[in-house]
Chain A
Amino acid sequence: MSQPETKCWRNDAYAKVTGKAKFTDDLKFANVLHAAPAYSDCVHARIVSIDTSAAEKVSGVVRVLTAKDVPGENRFGQIIRDYRIFADDKIRYHGDVVAIVVAETRAIAIHAAQLVKVNAEPLPAVLDPEAAMLPDAPLVHEHHGSNIVNTHVVRRGNVDDGFKQADFVIEEKFQTQTIEHAYMETEAAVCVPRSTDGVLEVYGSMQHPFSTRRFVAACLGVALSEIEVIGTPMGGGFGGKDDTAAIVCARAALAAKLLGRPVKMVYRRDWSMRESYKRHPYRVHYKMGLTKAGRITAVQCRIVADGGAYCSVTPWVTWRSTVQCCGPYVVENVHCDTFGVYTNNVVAGAMRGFGSPQMNFVIEQMVEIAARRVGISGIEFRRRNLVRQGSITITGQKLDGHKVAMAQALDTVLREIDYEKKLARCSHGQSKLRSSRREEAQTETAQAQSLLTSAAAIQDDELYGIGVAMSYRGVSLGAEGVDFCAAIINAQADGSIFLETGIHENGQGSESAMSLICAEELGVDLKRIRYRRSSTSNIPDSGTTVASRGTIMGGGAVTLAARELKMKIAEAFCAKLGCPMDEVRFKDNFICGRSDTERIAFDDAMRQMWQMQNFPFALGTFKAPRVSWEEHTGQGDAYFTWVYGCQAVELTVNKNSGKVRLLNAVAAHDVGRAVNPEMVRGQIYGGMAMSAGYALHEEVKAPGGMMTTLNLNTYRIPRSLDLPEMKVIIIENPDPLSPTGAKAIGEPANEILAPAIANAIFNATGQRHCSLPIRLGALPEPVACEEGCK
């Protein structure tokens, strides 16, 4: 069994395990009203009128709000302001909200919302992203002039020359599906007008309190200081509680402001599934040139991402796909064209991975296809091409400011899972062996079984396979955005400490990680530190808690704040301690001079500082180191540092049903430094699980643009029995550019199990699946290699 090696610490675990944690829907306010959204039945249509009269007549309905009630800005977006709080001119997808009904009870609001009628002229819907790019396609946003939201390129070397140098050229088309974040808590907001000063308090389930505040303030036409977004426990986000969550808050805030009463808007699962943005479905055409020696000479790829009805963060998501379009491999000649496209499908936006899960599904299968073409193992092919210390990436960035641990991660996983031995025992490639030497083949199968770490034995009607995938990933936002973060440490006169950062607790344990970093840096017990529930009125705008940036950016800010505080304290006490300032040390709740006997207890020191009229208070600001990007060439130092990870999986495929059974999975990730190791493991287990769902089960269906996957009974996220026992190995190479040494894990964990599964399925069946989710029917006996995609 996998007993935890380290006892895990979380500041919020007690409240969560006892049911005392108050999530948004658990908050109660007197005199509260409830709001429910009204949708239309259209996918693409011009709005002629919205008839709210029937809804308004329902007893208990207080008000029905539409776009015309918005006093400020109805349109918003972090990149293009095209997302409507209420649809005004057109319906652009099935999840567009035309009105909200505000009523005395939730049941009345829900009932009355169904009575809102939209009179609209249907327009032809564009649902295929490739068709949307054609010149005569119906436009989703007429003023944009085209359905192409954005383009990115990489132009490196000369691909024509690269393909000339190649002995082989391989080419495949891949397609990935729309998936849902499926956070357990749906979008929710409670907005409360504060009678004392008129400030509107916003409690809600969101990852980005600051953009929520920006959108709420813009919607109401008021100053940022008139809105206070208060951190509230959140039931999962995975990138999904940025745009839509802020809109839900803005709608509830509008109602609260206009009606002068608290308004609660908690999304029903079907509203959430219908309206919330999803992971982009991709179409990728990938061509790779290879030498006989197993080197990649060129990559040409065309990436089309369906962004759905609004821009959201499509340009940023597709930028990461572009920067990472060759995976962790050195390629001298690259020509990549990436398109983000508007359609009348559900909006696509940020989801854990942010453009990398799609590309890794492509790349990590391409390298296996390449290896077979060249006639070497997939592992050997990877080794010949992977990034090493000092390598230059496809965007011209030299990887030298940190330990390049790609080979280390790969080796760690291969060793742990005993890959080479198990690969030789995969079902695919053994059929000849079986027919000619059946008895020996049975012995082989028995050996394969004995190698399995899982207790699950392989049945007679099952094929066995093992697969691996790896990635590197640029940390934090990179050249896509402004990237800095604040932390405040406020020590009290009795030695207790308040800590606050601009990073949001999404459920990942950020508050705990920040507290651990603070305690370590100050040399004090964890129990002194009270993480202060964050408020946008107190901590400077530190951006959004996405992009696996919480620990590196927030932790960086905490470290810098702690160092500043230590300087203040050292300055105040160095004379007493009889040493220069820079020799003052902080350990075991004491402030020490040169020797451990010359020391002052932390509590005493804080009391004395108060008496000296010297506040032990510090603001730390961590700014991401410089990055650069040239849009027209796709060259630059895209990210200030990178992380490296590898995962492998063993599985069986049932010959009759095609059912895939995962037997075992292993992951190794370089996280820089593990601040809270058990939580790091939790991120990796959860990321692998989500990636298994991406590979095998999950798909949002919307025939004709009408969403039909509306709840967790039809959208199948992995259950306990769908998953194998998992093993995680944490690699620590502290990063010099991170004040804590720590880097990132949330997204790296979630971007490679799907291609590992696809590779394992190939090794079991001989079938290459280039489309997600992977659907297998009854299988023929495995045959010699057929690389064509299913």
Chain B
Amino acid sequence: MQMKLFVNGKEVEVPTSAMEKRIVEFLREDLDLTGAKNACDVGACGACTILVNDEPSRICIKLVKDFGGQRILTIEGMAAPDGTLHPLQQAFLDCGAIQCGYCTPGMVLTAHAFLLKTPHPTRAQIRHAIVKNLCRCTGYQQIIDAVEKAAPHYHREERRLQAASTSEKPAHEDTEETTG
């Protein structure tokens, strides 16, 4: 049976010939999702980070076959279909957190995964959360500003989800799927 991935809310069938590829190459070359960057090949810099079931994953050292049935979010899935930025992305713009932009996709996704779990973070917690994502331009200061600025959106989402579950409505999809 052919392996499937769920990429940015869409089902993707993986050709058998692609199973042994590195997943960063599969996403970039076969799916044309070039937001994930391949900057070190050894899992050291975080520029290739995507989310797998809401957990950050460094995909330059992983193979496609290891991701069967997994739910993948890439940077291309963060904004709404009409192009409206996710509040976290907007915060990166507002805070001047983007310079060369090469680390940005991985940084945004790492921060997104963190805020989903920790919607009331301290700056120290944010600093810890992004430690594996290298940035040479910004000194991280404005990135931390941006993550902090976006946090209220995640509290609201958290409250909304809690309200939804207590009223026993069908569970809402989580943020990236509603926006992606």
Q: List residues of A whose CB falls within 8 A of some B CB.
A: 1-4, 7-8, 10, 12-23, 25-26, 28, 181-186, 233-236, 238, 268-269, 455, 506-509, 678-679, 681-682, 685-690, 711-713, 717-721, 723, 725-726
Contacts and interface: CB of A to CB of B under 8 A. Distances in A.
Contacts of B32: 28
Name the residue among B36, B102, B140 with the largest chain A CB count within 10 angstroms: B102
A268 B41 CA distance: 8
Contact of A184 (B45, B79, B130): B45
Nearest to B148: A1
B64 interface: no
Main secondary structure of the interface of A (DSSP, over half): loop
Nearest to A6: B96
Contact of B131 (A235, A455, A685, A720): A720
A508 B99 contact: yes
A476 to B, nearest CB: 21
Contacts of B42: 269, 711-713
A185 B37 contact: yes
A2 to B, nearest CB: 6
B59 interface: no
A199 to B, nearest CB: 26
Contacts of B89: 17-18
Main secondary structure of the interface of B (DSSP, over half): loop
Given A689-B139, A720-B140, A13 B74 contact: no
B99 A4 contact: no
B102 A682 contact: no
Contact of B100 (A236, A690, A713): A236
A235 B128 contact: no
24 contacts: A16-B98, A16-B104, A17-B89, A17-B92, A20-B76, A23-B34, A23-B37, A184-B137, A186-B39, A233-B101, A238-B136, A269-B39, A507-B137, A685-B140, A686-B99, A686-B136, A711-B42, A711-B44, A713-B42, A717-B134, A718-B139, A720-B128, A720-B144, A725-B123
B93 A685 contact: no
B134 A721 contact: no
B99 A678 contact: no
A182 B132 CA distance: 16
Contacts of B34: 19, 22-23, 25-26
Nearest to B128: A721
Contacts of B79: 18
A186 B41 CA distance: 12
B93 A17 contact: yes
Name the residue among A10, A15, A184, A234 with the largest chain B CB count within 10 angstroms: A184
Nearest to B78: A18
A235 to B, nearest CB: 3
A235 B44 contact: no
Contact of A725 (B76, B102, B132, B141): B141
Nearest to A236: B100
B35 interface: yes
A507 B142 contact: no
Name the residue among B42, B101, B127 with the largest chain A CB count within 10 angstroms: B101
A622 B33 CA distance: 41
B41 to A, nearest CB: 6
A715 to B, nearest CB: 9
Given A7-B94, A19-B76, A721-B131, A507 B39 contact: no
B115 interface: no
Contacts of B134: 184, 712, 717, 719
A720 B130 contact: yes
A12 B96 contact: no
A5 to B, nearest CB: 11
Interface of B: 28, 32-45, 47, 74-76, 78-79, 83, 85, 89, 92-96, 98-105, 108, 123-124, 127-128, 130-145, 148-149
A726 B96 contact: no
Nearest to A185: B102
B124 A455 contact: yes
A699 B144 CA distance: 27
Contacts of A2: 141, 145
B139 A686 contact: yes
Contacts of B75: 17-19
Nearest to A1: B148
A685 B142 contact: yes
Contacts of B130: 720
Contacts of A8: 93-96
A19 B137 contact: no
Nearest to A184: B102
A682 B137 contact: yes
Contact of B95 (A233, A678, A719, A720): A678
B117 to A, nearest CB: 17
A4 B131 contact: no
Nearest to A454: B124
Given A1-B145, A3-B145, 10 more contacts: A13-B93, A18-B75, A18-B89, A19-B34, A184-B134, A235-B100, A269-B40, A508-B137, A682-B99, A721-B128
Nearest to A237: B100
A195 B57 CA distance: 42
Given A16-B98, A235-B101, A455-B124, A25 B38 contact: yes
A268 B44 CA distance: 13
**Closest 10 A-B residue pairs measured CB to CB?**
A19-B35, A507-B100, A16-B101, A235-B102, A689-B139, A678-B96, A685-B139, A19-B75, A8-B96, A26-B34
A721 B127 contact: yes
